[in-house]
Structure 1
């Protein structure tokens, strides 16, 4: 098994399940945040020279807040989802068969084919204790099997 830690450039989660905006502006803001997370994770994966085309990856989100208020790990899933999507192959631009509208391309690093359980495990995020005087931080802990490791275990 191989592993890597990707420090994310956020002091708090950019998205939360509590984000309830229903206005058009709020919808666009959440879409921009998801797109930015994907972009950041793809860039960080490239900088870390993560492999592409592995058989399976486990992606664990860690959050160390700036204070020790009570927080719910469920709210971190909104940030974890686009981070996991960024590690997949991504999608090319096209036209929706259903609506006949243009569908933009989605950025992907290509570490795994898809974020389905066949390719990726996403355990519950972990919230750590705050460190007095330190800003909050988020990071991804990745563990994966190389294709050669999987072939040798059969």
Structure 2
């Protein structure tokens, strides 16, 4: 049986954007670091144990059909995955690395949910070993 963790994220919009610092590298780096630290804490609080391999999916639920570029969500997915495989003190290392050998990261998705508030959710599922 595959283990699954669904983690509601504390942001209603992507915290890390391609133009998020508007050219200010320090502002962008701070957003990345804060996002990564938050994910490490959320993963630790979810009691996710070390996994051999996992799948990490980012979903952004939105209440309207305003055009949003899913490519921009990848900028948020990166620090989230780094926090699940990193070696910084705030990371929660559930896999040895965030390379395809240990972590499958499909493109994030945007899901239309009329009448519901915006919400970002990260789903982590264990990929069973083939042995």
Same fold (TM over 0.5): yes
Tell me if the contact between 1:58 and 1:122 (Cα under 8 Å) persists in the aligned partners.
yes
- Aligned residue number for residue 123 of structure 1: 106
Task: Give the alignment's TM-score, normalised by structure 2.
Answer: 0.90
- Aligned residue number for residue 87 of structure 2: 90
How far apart are residue 73 of structure 1 and its match? 0.8
Paired with 2:32 and 2:19, the residues of 1 have a C-alpha distance of 15
Paired with 1:36 and 1:19, the residues of 2 have a C-alpha distance of 13
Tell me if the contact between 1:5 and 1:139 (Cα under 8 Å) persists in the aligned partners.
yes
Paired with 1:89 and 1:21, the residues of 2 have a C-alpha distance of 27
- Aligned residue number for residue 20 of structure 2: 19
- Aligned residue number for residue 93 of structure 2: 110
Structure 1: 4+ residue segments shifted above 3 A: none
How far apart are residue 66 of structure 1 and its match? 4.2
CA RMSD of aligned residues (A): 1.7
Task: Give the alignment's TM-score, normalised by structure 1.
Answer: 0.77
Paired with 2:87 and 2:79, the residues of 1 have a C-alpha distance of 11
Q: Give structure 1 stretches of 5+ with no counterpart.
A: 92-105
Paired with 2:113 and 2:21, the residues of 1 have a C-alpha distance of 26
Number of residues paired by the alignment? 130
SS of structure 2 residue aligned to 1:4: strand
Aligned pair 1:136/2:121, yes or no? no
